A and B are shown apart, each in its own frame.
Chain A
Amino acid sequence: MRLEPVANPTLLRQLGLPALALGATVLVAMALALLAGADPLAVLGQIVTGAVGSRFALLETLNRATPLIFTGLAVAVAFRARLWNIGAEAQLYAGAIIAVLLGTGALGAPFVLPVSAAVALLAGAMLLLVPVLLKVRLGVDEVVTTLLLNFIMALFVSYLLEGPLKDPMGMGWPKSAALIPEARLPRIIDGLRLHWGFGLALISAGIVWVIQSRTTLGFEMRAVGANIRAARFAGMPVNAVLVKTALLSGGLAALAGWSEVAGAKGHLSLDLSPGFGYTGIIVAMLALLHPLGVVVTALFVAGVFVGADAMSRAAGVPTYIADMLLAVALLFMVLAIALTKVRVVRG
């Protein structure tokens, strides 16, 4: 058995294989449900209805997708330039901290929302700037530095919530004071539990898409990612491009945390993010790093999580099935994408 490159994959190959991957994922999901002692078809149905079956379910999915769109975009932008930002989780918390610092009375209307969003963006950007400068100047591997910053940030947030940012009225719980109403993101439609963070995420995806496909910077980012040697030879300012990529990526990830605090939660606590930063990597990879694709895959991933939660309550199958499903989906998708470019030949 050996692999042979396929020069010009057909459309059938390009679309059929990912579809096949999705089908295989569903089959594995059903097998997992069977293992857990439940009726596979019922479990599948409950996941789907739990994700999109009612107005409440749909809104829950959209809300859950919001931070994933931001972190997915952050990862997609960085990975496109082959900048391995594994630290979206830390940058997310940087944005969340800013939302609390500026949103609990330090600033009033009408400035608090735009200013805290801008500062959050900047904070996330700065947090990624350090690893990137280390990479560009000293050749330090950014995978390691960005990954480790996640742990540093988690402990820092823990310190803040036990110390300076601890809510004096919080009955001793490690959580921040609540944001003032002026610092909260309004709902898109009155009466519907969906905040403007979702709208902002969609707009961000559009902006990132325009940057990547239409601007000089986007051209440079793609060239640096696709062939850094040719980019350097052609005279592109490779280091400056990497730094700009980092600023954009870090800023996007910070908006995830900012919008969770300002939109969804209204305060900062240690369980603000159930790994949105890491899940962003899955979202971006499933989307093949395409910014508009990120919106679709973020909705899919959010739907799986929300649907699995609902199913778990009804069928008694552990909610961890969602994590396994996503992992399986990612593995199959990566395999499918690899197989669009090569074919297996016997002999």
Chain B
Amino acid sequence: MSLAQSGAEIVLRLDQITKRFGRLVANDAISLTLHRGEVLALLGENGAGKTTLMNILFGHYLADEGSVTAFGQPLPAGQPKAALAAGIGMVHQHFTLADQLTVLENITLGTESLWSLGRGRAAALAKVQGLSRDFGLAVDPLARIADLSVGERQRVEILKALYRDARILILDEPTAVLTPQEAEALFQTLRLATARGLSVIFISHKLHEVMGHSDTCVVLRHGRVVGQVATRDTDRRALAALMVGAEMTEATVAPGVPGPVRLSLTGVRAGPLRDLTLELRAGTITGLAGVSGNGQAALADLIGGALGPEAGEMRVDGAPVSRWTPRAALAAGVGRIPEDRHKTGTVADFTLAENAVLETYAQRFSKLGFIDWAAVRSHAMGLIAGYDVRCPGPEARIRLLSGGNMQKLILGRVMEETPGILIANQPVRGLDVGAIAYVHGRLVAARDAGAAVLLISEDLDEVMGLSDVIHVISEGRLSPAFARGALSQGELGLWMAGQGFEDAA
């Protein structure tokens, strides 16, 4: 029986919540309702607006528009205390515990009056032990936080919320840090909680958890609710399609002409990546599809030199690599378009000219330890003209540029070195339509010039539209290579949801 249809009491209602950060609309008129005893899963890619929404609900952010109603009472905006008093408890992704205090002290912290001097300690201990038993949250109340495992710490966070008589629990990506066994125990606890009339919202982008443990799914994309369905009426594939965008675009890019293998990984293990085998060929765009957080960042770091392989073999142009650093990768002809152009791609307080030579200053613009600024300047002017970077000039600080123009400068910086291997990690995230088309055009041009391109994207349309070969990554594993058009969007969605890997292995 669906709770939404059963007439169960509505405990929480978000109405038309809108939040803007500058020009970015993080939440666009989001409405949702939570019923008594319901587990609601909030799904969406990174940047879809999930965490922003929960921070508004909990009072950390002020919404620009819209209202929150809890248990029939309007919740004053921007007051975490009011949210706590209304019975809303939040468990953050990053725990907020004092390491040097005991579990009990952490739980009671802030609930006692200043002058109680530990009078209520016995009562508090009894309450915590009772909660611990009732909700299956096994943890020693007198242990120090520093001595606990991650899973135990999360239980303390949940106990903290329950101790404050929370009736609504919000968990931000609760299983991101847990082992599968700990995750299973967590969901057991959530079932006990809902049986006692509590309501739960959990944020996730792991489809199997959502399918297995929620009553209702709300899918966010680009700050909007793109779907709200009863979990039993949907399946993984439909949810994956909602998350990444279901609208199909025509594949208008002509196929590439495959050349020799430029980079090969055989049985490589690194960070979260398991037994990875991958070939990148010249004249080919290899697309990497997958739900975010499944190892894409590690793979980009691995090929880009920021992460060394722990096991297995990595070859560039046939030669095995030994000491693999960013500088070694650059020297081997690897071009990198980083995922975060603000934090890793550029130095915000540097000029365009300085940013243009961040990777090449030592090799190309340095004479006897001195930088040839005239050459740097003319190089930057060349990039600005050649890659249509709209800016006041090479001496302007790059922080003044829009995301699209910043990305064009990075693109120019990379392309001017005519890389043999090019990793583009989320190259068009946050860009407008014109800049997207420009970046895509340049990637195809690089491929036609003979580069082996690895395109990492969470946008399935982008991967399917540009790639000659597609891999899917899920939980650090890589699917076999699929030729363009070999799989439908639905079939790719199944791989993204983690199906098929067992058979392939």
Q: Which residues of A contact B (CB under 8 A)?
A: 7-8, 214-217, 219, 222-223, 226-227, 229-235, 237
Contacts and interface: CB of A to CB of B under 8 A. Distances in A.
Contacts of B371: 214-216, 219
Contacts of A7: 400
A311 to B, nearest CB: 41
Contacts of B354: 219, 223
Contact of B343 (A216, A229, A234): A229
B370 A235 contact: no
B370 A215 contact: yes
B400 A233 contact: no
Contact of A226 (B305, B329, B347, B400): B347
B344 interface: yes
B327 A235 contact: yes
Interface stretch (B130-138, B224-232, B356-364): B356-364
B359 A234 contact: yes
Interface string B350-382: 100010001101100010011101000000000
18 contacts: A214-B370, A215-B369, A216-B369, A219-B361, A222-B350, A226-B350, A229-B343, A229-B344, A230-B343, A230-B344, A230-B346, A230-B347, A230-B358, A231-B347, A232-B306, A233-B304, A233-B306, A233-B345
B338 interface: yes
A182 to B, nearest CB: 34
A216 B347 contact: no
B325 interface: yes
B44 interface: no
A215 B368 CA distance: 9
Given A7-B400, A215-B371, A216-B370, A235 B330 contact: yes
Contacts of A217: 369
A219 B359 CA distance: 12
B400 A8 contact: yes
Contacts of A231: 347, 358
Contacts of A237: 327
Contact of A235 (B349, B350, B359, B373): B359
A216 B362 contact: yes
Pick the 8 closest A-B CB pairs, nearest first: A235-B327, A235-B326, A234-B358, A227-B347, A233-B344, A216-B366, A234-B359, A226-B347
B321 interface: no
Contacts of B327: 235, 237
A84 B326 CA distance: 26
B348 interface: yes
A234 B400 contact: no
Given A216-B369, A227-B346, A231-B347, 7 more contacts: A214-B373, A219-B371, A223-B350, A229-B344, A230-B346, A233-B304, A235-B305
B455 to A, nearest CB: 19
A268 to B, nearest CB: 36
Nearest to A227: B347
A216 B363 CA distance: 10
Contact of B326 (A8, A214, A216, A233): A233
Contacts of B329: 235
Contacts of B369: 215-217
Contacts of A216: 361-362, 366, 369-371
Of A214, A222, A233, the most chain B CB neighbours within 10 A belong to A233
B393 to A, nearest CB: 14
A214 B327 CA distance: 22
B400 to A, nearest CB: 7
Nearest to B355: A230
A228 to B, nearest CB: 10
B355 to A, nearest CB: 9
A219 B371 CA distance: 8
A194 to B, nearest CB: 33
A145 to B, nearest CB: 23
B426 to A, nearest CB: 15
Contacts of B358: 223, 230-231, 234
A229 B340 CA distance: 11
Contacts of A226: 347-350
Nearest to B343: A229
A233 B361 CA distance: 14
Contacts of A214: 370-371, 373
Contacts of A230: 343-347, 358
Contacts of A223: 347, 350, 354, 358
Nearest to B373: A214
Given A8-B400, A223-B347, A232 B370 contact: no
Nearest to B367: A216
Contacts of B305: 235
Nearest to A222: B350
A232 B326 contact: yes
B7 to A, nearest CB: 42
